[in-house]
Amino acid sequence: MGESVDWKENLSQNSNHIYKKSEFGPDFVKDFKKTYTFFQHNTPHIAQGILHLLMGQLPSLKNMRIPVDANYLDTRIHIVWFQQSDTGKGRGFNFASAICDGIGLKYEPVFEITDAALLGGFDQIQKYDSTKKGYVTEYSFIPGLLQRGQTNILAMNEASVLFNSKPNQIQKNAMDYYQITMNTLGTKDNIIPKRVLHGGNITCEPDCSLFLTSYIPDKLNEVIATRGFASRPLNIINDVSIEDRRGAMDHSAEFFNVERNSAKVDLYSIIGKMKFINEFYAGVNKLEHDPSIKQPLRNFVSQVYDTTVDVGKFQRKKLIEFMHRYQDMGYKLMYHSCCLRLGKKIEADDVTYAESYLMPIWRLFITYLEESMVQSIRDRVMSSQIERDVYEGFNKFKSIVDEHNNIKFLDKDGFMPRPLLKKYLKIKVWKCSSTTVDKRLKDAEKTGLVEQGRRGMIPTIKILRKPDDPV
């Protein structure tokens, strides 16, 4: 595998800091997420995504290649972070920028998505030519943000313009350029050619990582259904509840007018350890793997596939396009996990790490597709219809009585076993995944239609009002 990986027990060759190996791996990930909370409250999955966004741009990791049969992947992770407006996305932006400043990565916010801004262009320069005894026009190339070496993290804090259902030509081009950017480094489909009228043709081979944030546009489902862009990045859909907002407000009030010096100390510690990781893997172009990873890896692949089995036909057709992309992201996260713990080879724990981070994000994405993409059941997923379905399903079992004229499925307080109702709604009514049923029942609880509880080991549910009652 290129240069061998040897653990320098206490000191990196170029580092002024002494670290213990125990400070890396899970402890480092935990410290990274803790440090992120100083910037944005209670979003550990976002913090972990930003960690991998940055890891993929560390020069030593970026030079690695992940062989997959005759093909290979690079280690970059791209993020599209969907979240409501005014809920702290900008603070996540500032955190990523601060880390980049510390470890020497170029963090470039982009506001203009024209060809000139992204690919570059030629400026006309008038120079005097003594041989011709007059001025001649020359062209000087000004590189755009996507040109190789210009940017490490290309960041858009308001990327919703990319997801317009009827984009203009500039938006279409930017989406295409970003899609090519996410293709594997060094391949022919990672090249953007551009013909220009003056100065010469432009060739762009982007090597940055994308960090795009946006509120969830009304017709994002159309973008997912009609374009290939959405299958390439890690799509993190973070639905901020009213309780989440209140928690963030309480957190802000607690630290009003307080500067936590420990936040700066922790930030410097994170930066130092990321530099150390980069130095440790200098010259390594590939990691080996332990044979023990094969079965956990098959289990991970099965999980990605199995979550789509009970999804509706239309959604599943789209999800098939995403499955192998998320599998590829799993491979990248396995490499990252090994490097985070300063490992010599990929082990079963690295597969577990990738699975434990990716699967909840994948399931949320499936739920989003089920809730927003299927036009034939669009009316039924509206809140009022969901409430009626839950109410009618509950009463279906409530009407069944035993031989002693007691309601068979209700306890003395009116609670029914939740798995009974869930299975009925999943198979007979909604024909969707278990994850989506859980979300809809949770939504019905938020509107006050139902109350959920537990009797011993059995989760329970009961109706509190009729669907037509005022909320």
Closest listed residue to residue 81, CA positions, set 220, 190, 225, 174: 220
C-alpha distances (whole Å) from 169 to each of 63, 90, 161, 179 are: 34, 27, 12, 15
d(CA 282, CA 9): 16
The DSSP bridge partners found for residue 196 are none
Query: Is residue 140 assigned to a domain?
Result: yes
Structure confidence at residue 375 (pLDDT): 44
DSSP of 204-217: E----EEEEEE---
Residues 276 and 231 placed together within one structural domain of the fold: yes
Closest listed residue to residue 429, CA positions, set 383, 368, 388, 384: 388
Structure confidence at residue 201 (pLDDT): 86
- Give the residue numbers spanning the domain of 80: 21-372
Query: Is residue 11 assigned to a domain?
Result: no
Residues 449 and 320 placed together within one structural domain of the fold: no
E strand residue ranges, 262-420: 288-289, 345-346, 416-417
Exposure string of 232-258, with b = 16+ CB inside 10 Å and e = fewer, is: bbbbbebebeeebeeebeeeeeeeeee
Give the containing element (helix H, strand E) for 136: strand 134-143
Query: Is residue 456 assigned to a domain?
Result: yes
Mean pLDDT value of segment 277-284: 95
pLDDT in tens, 361-415: 998 888 877 776 554 445 444 678 889 999 999 998 888 876 666 778 888 889 9
- Total residue length of the chain: 471
Residues 341 and 242 placed together within one structural domain of the fold: yes
Environment class of residue 87 by beta-carbon count within 10 Å: exposed (0-12), middle (13-18) or buried (19+)? middle
Domain of 198, CATH number, reads 3.40.50.300
Last residue in a domain, options 372, 387, 411: 372
Residues 107 and 93 placed together within one structural domain of the fold: yes
Residues 275 and 424 placed together within one structural domain of the fold: no
Residues 236 and 384 placed together within one structural domain of the fold: no
d(CA 211, CA 153): 7
d(CA 255, CA 349): 37
pTM comes to 0.76
* Residue type, position 405, single letter: N
pLDDT in tens, 88-117: 788 888 999 999 999 999 999 999 999 999
Closest listed residue to residue 385, CA positions, set 449, 467, 454, 324: 467
pLDDT in tens, 179-218: 999 999 999 999 999 988 776 789 999 999 999 998 877 6
Query: Is residue 2 assigned to a domain?
Result: no
